Chains A and B, each alone.
Chain A
Amino acid sequence: MKVQNGWTHLLKAALEDFRRNKVRTALTSLGIMIGVLSVVLLIALGLGLKNYLKQQFESLGANLIIIFPGNISSSEEGGGLANFGVGFAGGATFDEKDLNSLSRISEAEYTVPMFMKSMVIETNGQRKLGYIIGTNEESFKILNLQLLTGEFFKKGDITASSKNAVLGFSLADGLFDKPEDALGRTIRAGDQRLKVIGVVKKKGDREQDNSAVIPYTTTFGKLNPDKSFFTIYLGTTNEDEVDIIKKRAKEVLLKRYEENDFTVTEQTEILSTVNQIFNIVNGVLIAIGSISLIVGGIGIMNIMYATVVERTKEIGIRRAVGATENDILRQFLTESVLLSLFGGILGLLLATGIVAIVRIFFPASINVFAVLISLIVSSAIGIFFGVFPARRAAKLPPIEAIRYE
């Protein structure tokens, strides 16, 4: 006859005990459940935020060099986070002169200025809050815009400061019965009357979908009295030239500005800066989640101590029929780990449910890492907080235990 499998006996006894004390088991697991729930949710939301940002950046074409005022250079120690907020406000103000000098960089295939302003855009009877984007004809390529109807404006529109506008899908949809109806109609933005010559397909980017793209020269006036640009993009189809273009752009701008007045970067660098910030935020949030895990662990320890006292006689009986100290230790550890794992799995399931709902609005996701970490952490908590009560149980003198009433 085979040796009786000790583990099945332990598991069966523990599960049997949980069944008997349903309320106590549920309440004890609750702490771990909440802890795991919050940690997994935080990981899922953090991941979602990262995914969201990645999508945003990927909607811009690859090999894009971004130039904007201020300094968020992540290579500068500690500067990355501190200057992030002021970066857009301070520093250089780019104008047409900078655009012309940058466009002379031979390696750059596109030079795209970007002016953006949030404002109310009107048609006869309809008003909608949107954005005016002043740029040139090359922007349609780097923004990966695709026409639903009509056409993009051309180089000639820039020189002529034409009043032609290309509408985003949501803006056209809001102002007219159907987005396609916008073609050929007139819209008003501030003092400008613009003619819609094209409507682009939905892109999923809220700002882009709500904007009217017009020649930058047309914004020079009441819309953009400083004749300035918010950002200038340089683009190339050749990845190897990104570094050269960055270097050239810096040289060009340094003739006119101080080093700290502007930033020349590429999207991957921005992404890594943003990632850095989210890693810190995530770290803080996970630390908060961990506190509830620890509190949950203490709850388990408390119940396990009570269980040891309650089962003192049983421990004595088991010792008398041949259980070693280790057997008793294992029995109680099994129980605390199961209790903790039970809470962990519940928390994980609940988090999965919540994430499934959140996904409707936001690309949150649960990855293998979150699943593994919640199972490992809850088992570890079960062991860590279970080992003290289990040791007490194992060290009980058999005779005193068996006499305990």
Chain B
Amino acid sequence: MIKLQNVSKSFLFGEEEVKAVDNISLTIKEKEFIGILGSSGSGKSTLMHIIGLLEQPTSGKVILEGKDVSKLSDAELSKIRNKTVGFVFQSFNLINRFTVLENILLPTKYAKDSLDFDPIKRSEDLLKRFGIFERRNFFPNKISGGQQQRVAIARSLIMQPKIILADEPTGNLDSKTGDEIIDILKNLNKEFGVTMIIVTHEKDIAAQTKRQIYIKDGKIVDKYL
């Protein structure tokens, strides 16, 4: 369902051009559970942003569900981000002036088509599932990191996306909480068949996924060094 063809992304640092992603071709099938493993600065985050349509590649093609996304307008890209893809970030990226419930509902405010579910009920179901229902009216900075990441996962799930992109989801958490988050993501893949892509630099996290891709200097390599 996701196909990358010779995708490159370069940035200018002053005069110098740096290739964050260098000619990567990659196919990810529906319902896969993939770990993208690389050290800091390897280009794995940029790759994730390209897959998640947050960034456009400098060259190459991204084909999502058979559509070449480079030709899509801002409105069409936004719609895909809204409906098809859910993001989970290392630093949670919740809006602190909104409550937990309001944060989870945020994507529904940008839905351009009618919703086929009751957003409040669905949010509450997700909150209950993740054991943070009683925190629904708290502001994000008043709850723990593990709880914040659960809220972020609930937010990524509210629009029932086909793909979830998790960028270092355990990076800001202690190992026990981190494991709990990985378990949640694992279960989502298993139970609902959500295509799960986890970007990480930790081998033992990547080891829990079904397929690993190693990135070094913007290229796919055979083995993680």
Which positions in A face B, CB cutoff 8 Å?
1-4, 6, 9, 16-17, 20, 313-314, 316-327, 397-399, 402
A313–B89 alpha-carbon span in the complex (Å) = 13
- Shortest C-beta distance, B161 to chain A (Å), equals 10
Given contacts A1-B116, A1-B119, contact A322 B110 (CB under 8 A): yes
CB–CB B97/A17 < 8 A: yes
- Residues of B75-116 whose CB lies within 8 A of A: 75, 78-79, 81-83, 87, 89, 93-95, 97, 106-116
Please give me the residue from chain B that is nearest to A327 by CB atom.
B110
Contact of A4 among B81, B89, B109, B155 (CB under 8 A): B109
| Residues of B with C-beta under 8 A to A398 | 54-55
- Residues of A within 8 Å of B117, CB to CB, are 1
Task: Quote the shortest CB–CB distance from A197 to chain B (angstroms).
Answer: 82
A320-B87 contact, Cβ under 8 Å, with A4-B109, A399-B49, A399-B55:
yes
B119 cross-chain contacts in A, Cβ below 8 A: 1, 4
Chain B residues within 8 Å of A317, by CB: 93-95, 106
Question: By the criterion CB–CB under 8 Å, are B97 and A16 in contact?
Answer: yes
Chain B residue contacts of A327, Cβ below 8 A: 78, 110
Q: Does B134 contact A (CB under 8 A)?
A: no
B97 contacts which chain A residues (CB < 8 A)?
16-17, 20, 314
- CB pair B110 A324 closer than 8 Å: yes
Shortest Cβ distance from residue B132 to the other chain A in the assembled complex, whole angstroms = 19
Q: Given A314-B95, A323-B110, A398-B54, A1–B78 Cβ distance below 8 Å?
A: no
Inter-chain CA distance A20–B74, complex, in Å, is 32
Listed from nearest, the 7 A-B pairs whose CB atoms lie closest are A322-B82, A322-B110, A324-B78, A321-B107, A1-B115, A9-B109, A322-B81
Q: Judge whether B111 and A402 touch: CB under 8 Å.
A: no
Q: Give min CB distance, A143 to chain B, whole Å.
A: 70
A194 to chain B, nearest CB (A): 81
B5 smallest CB distance to A (angstroms)? 21
Q: Is the CB of A322 within 8 A of B95?
A: no
* B110 contact set on A, CB distance < 8 A: 6, 318, 321-324, 327
Asked whether any CB of chain A lies closer than 8 Å to the CB of B191, the reply is no
Q: Which residues on A sit within 8 Å (CB–CB) of B107?
A: 321-322
Set A6, A17, A314, A402: member contacting B89, Cβ < 8 A: A402
Tell me the bound Cα distance from A316 to B115 in angstroms: 23
Chain B residues near A2 (CB-CB < 8 A)? 114-115
Task: Give the docked Cα–Cα distance between A404 and B113 (Å).
Answer: 30
- Which chain A residue has the least Cβ–Cβ distance from B86? A321
- Closest B residue to A321 using CB positions: B107
The answer, yes or no, to whether B118 is at the interface (CB within 8 Å) is yes
Interface centre among B81, B109, B116, B119 (most CB of A within 10 A): B109
What are 20 A-B residue pairs whose CB atoms fall within 8 Å in the complex? A1-B116, A2-B114, A3-B111, A3-B112, A4-B115, A4-B119, A20-B97, A313-B93, A317-B93, A319-B81, A320-B52, A321-B110, A321-B155, A323-B110, A324-B74, A324-B75, A398-B55, A399-B49, A399-B54, A399-B55
Q: Which residues of A contact B93 (CB under 8 A)?
A: 313, 316-317, 320, 402
Q: Which residues of A contact B111 (CB under 8 A)?
A: 3-4, 322
Residues of chain B in range 106-150 having any CB-CB distance to chain A below 8 Å: 106-119
Q: Which residue of A lies closest to B113 (CB)?
A: A3
What residues on B are CB-neighbors of A17 within 8 Å? 97
Complex Cα–Cα for A116 and B40 (A)? 98
Residues of chain A with a CB closer than 8 A to B83's CB: 322
Cα of A325 to Cα of B49 in the assembled complex, Å: 18
Chain B, residue nearest A320 (CB)? B87
With A1-B115, A3-B115, A4-B115 in contact, is A321–B89 under 8 Å at CB? no
What is the CB-to-nearest-CB distance from B97 to chain A, in angstroms, rounded to a whole number?
7
Q: Compute how far the CA of A314 lies from the CA of B140 in the bound complex, rounded to whole angstroms.
A: 13
Q: Pick the residue among B79, B87, B114, B155 that contacts A3 (CB under 8 A).
A: B114
- Is the CB–CB distance between B118 and A1 below 8 Å? yes
What chain B residues lie within 8 Å of A16 (beta carbons)?
97
